[in-house]
Amino acid sequence: MKTGILAVSFGTTYRDTREKNIEALVAAVRASYPDCQVYQAYSSGLIRKAVLAREGLAIFGVAEALLRMKEDGVKRVVLMPTHIIDGIENHRMKQAAREHRGDFARMEISDVLLASEADYGKTALALWEGVREEAGRDPVIFMGHGTAHPADESYAKLERELNRLTDNGVYIATVEGAVTISDVAARLGSDGRLCGRILLAPLMLVAGDHARNDMAGEKHSFASKLRALGCRPDCLLRGIGEYEGIRAVYLEHLGRAMERIRR
């Protein structure tokens, strides 16, 4: 029975970070499962249109990819979300999967990055190892996307795990979640760390538009707000898909889903 894997990302219009993060993860999936056909989908229609216009590269949406898999004779499908938390985007993907569940003999969905208690420790270690050299002894602020979904609480939990690994002071601020850069700046002040150099790094699979504009941009960004407070922000434009330890967590989750579908 033919098995296919569908890697689902929000997507990015930046080719360099796409290749270093999304494509690197998909390449690792193909290397791990050479007997399976691996497909990709971007959940953002705007990003799909932009990539097509700029590069002539057509990328499926989730529903389109599942229909293609059906046409290709795939009978068992595993969806592998590259989302960090089980928030709004992941639930939209699950809804699209449910609508096409009847097209396949079996369907499984692997977990997002932060799903189990063990995932938080593994993810924190991978993140810290990824930025430790650039951080030196300075505080670190990771920029997460954030969500109105209750899963937004995952960021605070991950932050606690990160601070078990170092005395630098590691904080997570979000673009659209409950904890903003202003909240983190206030905490930096109360912790006596609101001065000097601070490393800013994305807590997103890719270092795309949010990283380059909301985090590192000249105006209305995390960096500009910290500069206004007298800090010296140093921006690391590196998606977390570049970290081997992060890719390992996604592959571990995929492995469990593959075990379930082959039973």
> Quick check: is 220 catalytic?
no
pLDDT higher than 90, residue 1 = no
Which DSSP string corresponds to 112-168? -SS-SHHHHHHHHHHHHHHHHHHHTTS-EEEEE---SSGGGGHHHHHHHHHHTT-SS
**Mean local confidence (pLDDT), 175-189:** 95
CA distance 184 to 144: 12
Query: What is the percent of the chain with per-residue pLDDT over 70, rounded to a whole number?
Result: 100
117-239: CATH, from 3.40.190.10, 1.10.1200.10, 3.90.1150.10, 3.40.50.1400: 3.40.50.1400
pLDDT higher than 90, residue 58 = yes
**Mean local confidence (pLDDT), 66-83:** 97
pLDDT of amino acid 56: 96
pLDDT of amino acid 194: 83
CATH of domain 3-114+242-261: 3.40.50.1400
Question: Which residues fall within 8 angstroms of residue 173, CB to CB, at 6 or more apart?
Answer: 141, 142, 143, 144, 179, 180, 181, 183, 184, 222
pLDDT higher than 90, residue 98 = yes
pLDDT tens, residue by residue, 197-240 = 999 999 999 999 999 999 999 999 999 999 999 999 999 999 99
pLDDT of amino acid 263: 84
**Mean local confidence (pLDDT), 3-7:** 98
- Active-site residue (options: 83, 91, 100, 145): 145
pLDDT of amino acid 195: 82
pLDDT of amino acid 192: 87
pLDDT tens, residue by residue, 147-176 = 999 999 999 999 999 999 999 999 999 999
**Mean local confidence (pLDDT), 3-19:** 97
**Mean local confidence (pLDDT), 102-119:** 97
pLDDT higher than 90, residue 193 = no
pLDDT of amino acid 173: 97
Tell me the residue length of the chain.
263
pTM: 0.96
Tell me where in the chain the CATH 3.40.50.1400 domain(s) lie: 3-114+242-261, 117-239
Q: What is the rounded average pLDDT for all residues in the chain?
A: 96
pLDDT of amino acid 241: 97
CA distance 28 to 30: 5
